[in-house]
Structure 1
Amino acid sequence: MLETSARLLRLLSLLQAHRDWSGADLADRLGVTPRTVRRDVDRLRELGYPVNASPGTGGGYQLGAGAELPPLLLDDDEAVAVAVGLRTAAGQGIEGIGETSVRALAKLEQVLPNRLRRRVSALNAFTVPMLRGPGPSAVDPAVLTELANACRDSERLRFEYLDHGGSPTRRTVEPHRLVCTEHRWYLVAWDVDRDDWRTFRVDRITPRPPHGPRCPPRTPPADDLAAYVSRGVSTGAYAAQAVVRLLVPLAEAAGRISPSAGTLEAEGEDSCVLRTGAASLDVMVIHVMLMGFEFEVLEPAALTEAIGAAHGRLARALERTPGESPRTGDGTGRTPGTGGGSGMV
């Protein structure tokens, strides 16, 4: 059994991690009796944590927003500074901390008093960060927080979604997880109307509350959701798909190829396999060439043919481009006075 102080911290963490708990569930998690849970809840209230309770068989405990900031956490100014910092980190897509920032922001905003929420909103509304430009795929941190809460609470989510052509559609989903890359956020969710898993770009989502009801969690479409989303946005969404061997180590390729551009698999010390997609095979040729690595096409064979056609066009363009060397009458470009055009004597 946990000591009282450690148990209180564990209880607080459980209340922050989920919207509501039954007394029996909390007692089971903490290894104590329901009576001890009730006493611990009273202790949290004495410390300033607003724990709400509802009676009856369907009742339970819920951590609410307080009239004053609970002690042992942050004072008002510190809470505002942390909330603004988390919103900035989430909105700017800073590598490695974006998803963590959203989770922390969701917990913090859950207990912020209204007066502090207004201060945070004002600071964000009237502050212009001189960082990387937001770009067309910028995401409102408030939307991220709303989606994160819906995922946490296993609550049906309703929103308006813009498709690739910019046409709005209404969606009802059972949200599962948020997945982020350096530049974009995605929501993995079960689409109720289409009866299948879907991946949505968060910058195209406009929530349309009210949300709910609660729904039982589903088995996710893959154990590795990051790889699942990467395959979907870099390969599955395109008409042309290819598998290419890059003749560089995996770490070198990963430093230049983002998860939204393709998925990488280690093959050996000096090579790796790239799976990627593009709108057409001609675009695929450019896509692979611009990566800047030596490569071999594994599939499809049509990509090899497209590379050959592009090679021919480039070669003919070079022949038509005036060079520094004088050209022979037959157009071969050999240097006069040489037999093979190598320039060697």
Structure 2
Amino acid sequence: MADADGLDTTERVLTLLGLLQQRSLWTGPDLARHLGVTVRTVRRDVERLRALGYPVHAEQGVGGGYRLGAGQDLPPLLLDDEEVVAVVAALLTGAGGVGGVGGVGGGKAGDAALRALSKLDRLLPARLREQVRALAGSVASFGGGTASADPAVLMLLARTCRDEVEAAFDYPPSGRAAGGSPVRRRVEPYRLVASDRRWYLLAYDLDREGWRSFRVDRMTGVSARTFRFRPREAPDAATYVQEGVASRVYPRQARFLVHAPAETVRTQVSASAAVVRPAGPDRCELLSGGERLDSVLLHVLLLGHDFEVVDPPELREQCRAMAERLYAAGPSDG
């Protein structure tokens, strides 16, 4: 149905709703210019939105305009394609990824994220459903929390994982070469991994001939190549990336046997700071890394549990030296 302005009323009202959701305040003339209609038509369309249950407030005077307020019930949201992908990426992180990656998500928050994903899947148009399922099928996670990355880059990498197509990107060097110019990397992408802080890509590095994890937010110039590949036998994506983030990126690594349940210790350390594995009902193994072994030792000591050093052997000597210093710092018997 078209009105005096010659536009389809339903389409225009939906466009108006989208504009109100993008900005906190619009003037009537601004909305009229965006919609290509008169201010009077804007007022009528605002009334139509109110009749549908949307709380559109009109503020008079200088600095006034139209504002979409919070209602008693959650109204439908209008999202563009990029916003949908960003929402799905966040929900996948909250739901613990696809396939129930251990130790992530769960509980009421994880269940709610899965319900929301299910609703989105039913409502998405075909062009977006394929992209979202590509992302969902390429994600693992650890640690929970919030991870952010460019949705367009995530979708491109997810498609290369799904379609088994090589990817390329510029990536800054690490280690002694850190701070140098980014280097072009050619990889066989395997899985996207969401941590409690960032998104990572687990991939086989073709030039270095080995498995590597890459921070998505550090990639530039990401592109899909034309070469397909046959998947190799790969490590568990979430475990590999977590171990890399928590220990392999550091020059020194240490392993401890902590006399406390794994569930208890996991609440005390970030998933990006240490890998915690059960070693019985009341014990767990903790793997971590750092610039110096004594700093790693101090963090484990501050957990407040009895523990044993498993590796490396020289850390046991540092334990004794630290114990002697602590004892010497206490009050004398005299």
Whether TM exceeds 0.5 here: the answer is yes
Amino acid at match of 2:89: A
Size of the alignment, in residue pairs? 222
The code of the aligned residue for 1:146 comes to L
1:168-207 maps to which residues of 2 (within 5 A)?
168-207=182-221
1:270 aligns with 2:282: yes
Cα offset, 1:97, TM superposition: 4.9
SS of the residue 1:214 aligns to: strand
92-101 vs 306-315, greater mean Cα deviation = 92-101
Give the whole-Å Cα distance in 2 for the aligned partners of 1:308 and 1:93.
45
Shift of 1:82: 8.4
| Aligned-pair CA distance for 1:158 | 1.2
Aligned AA (1:149)? R
CA distance in structure 2 between the partners assigned to 1:88 and 1:139 by the alignment: 12
* C-alpha contact (below 8 Å) 1:173/1:191 kept by paired residues: yes
CA distance in 2, matches of 1:106, 1:170: 36
Please give the secondary structure, in 2, of the residue aligned with 1:156: strand
1:98 Cα shift? Answer: 6.1
Conserved? CA contact 2:93–2:194, under 8 Å: no
1:207 Cα deviation from its structure 2 partner: 3.2
Q: Which amino acid aligns with 2:228?
A: C
The equivalent residue for 1:148 is: 158
How far the C-alpha of 1:193 sits from its partner, in A, is 1.2
Q: What TM-score results when the alignment is normalised by the length of structure 2?
A: 0.56
- Other structure's SS at 2:165 match: coil
Matches within 5 A, 1:267-306: 267-306=279-318
Which of 1 and 2 has higher RCO (CA within 8 Å, sep 6+)?
2
- CA change 1:293–1:205 in 2 (3 A) is farther
Q: Does residue 258 of structure 2 align to residue 246 of structure 1?
A: yes
- Match for 2:282: what amino acid? D
Query: Contact 1:177–1:188 at 8 Å: present in 2 too?
Result: yes
Residues 91, 141 of structure 1: 8 Å contact kept: no
Query: How much does 1:78 deviate?
Result: 5.4
Structure 1: which amino acid aligns with 2:166? Answer: R
1:159 is matched with which residue: 166, 169, 194? 169
Deviation, structure 1 residue 176? 1.0
Residues of 2 paired with 1:188 and 1:181: CA distance? 12
**1:1-345 to 2 correspondence within 5 Å?**
80=79, 84=83, 86-88=85-87, 90=89, 94-97=93-96, 111=127, 138-164=148-174, 165-167=178-180, 168-209=182-223, 211-222=224-235, 224-318=236-330, 332=332, 334=334
CA RMSD of aligned residues (A): 3.6
1:84 Cα offset (Å): 2.8
Letter in 1 for 2:194: C
Structure 1 gap ranges (5+)? 1-76, 113-132, 320-331, 335-345
Q: Distance in 2 between matches of 1:272 and 1:235?
A: 17
* Cα pair 2:161 2:191 within 8 Å, conserved: yes
What is the rounded CA distance, in whole Å, between the counterparts of 1:175 and 1:246 in structure 2?
35
Please give the secondary structure, in 2, of the residue aligned with 1:186: strand
Partner SS, residue 268 of structure 1: coil
Distance across 2 between alignment mates of 1:146 and 1:208 = 8
Using the alignment, how far apart are the partners of 1:172 and 1:109 within structure 2? 33
Compare 175-184 and 301-310 and name the one that shifted more: 301-310
Quote the offset at 1:150 in angstroms. 1.5
Measured in 1, the distance between the counterparts of 2:84 and 2:167 equals 27
Instruction: String of CA shifts for 1:14-54, please: whole Å, max 9, x gaps.
Output: xxxxxxxxxxxxxxxxxxxxxxxxxxxxxxxxxxxxxxxxx
Structure 1 residues 305-324: Cα deviation after superposition (integer angstroms, max 9, x where no partner): 112223333444455xxxxx
One-letter amino acid of the structure 2 residue matched with residue 276 of structure 1:
S
Residue of structure 2 in register with 1:70 after alignment? none
SS at match of 1:150: helix
* 1:213, distance to aligned residue in structure 2 (A): 1.2
- CA distance in 2: counterparts of 1:83 and 1:241, whole angstroms: 40
- TM norm structure 1: 0.55
Alignment match, 1:31: none
Q: CA–CA distance in 2 between the matches of 1:151 and 1:162?
A: 22
Counterpart secondary structure, 1:273 = strand
**Counterparts in 2 of 1:275 and 1:141: CA distance versus 1, 3 Å:** same
Query: 8 Å contact 1:184–1:201 — kept in the other structure?
Result: yes
Partners of 1:265 and 1:278 lie apart in 2 by 19
2:183 alignment partner, SS class:
strand
Cα distance 1:288–1:106, how it changes in 2: closer, same or farther (>3 A)?
A: farther
